[in-house]
Amino acid sequence: MNRNGLYLLIGALLVVVIGLGVYVYREESKPDGVQINVGEQGISVEEN
């Protein structure tokens, strides 16, 4: 493998690692969800 191919491979791996890091960070920082309760007092919506 020549030097340019090696640089291309390293660059592609860096892009994948950075992209995966951004994805994991965004997924971890999301709120857990929304809870909806229906009862005698009506409907209540709470964000977890």
Q: What is the pLDDT of residues 4-43, one digit of tens each?
A: 999 999 999 999 999 999 999 998 887 777 888 898 889 9
Instruction: Please tell me the predicted confidence (pLDDT) of residue 1.
Output: 65
pTM of the entire structure? 0.59
Number of domains in the chain: 1
Give residue 23's domain range.
Answer: 3-47
Contact 44, 37 (CB under 8 A): yes
Contact 37, 48 (CB under 8 A): no
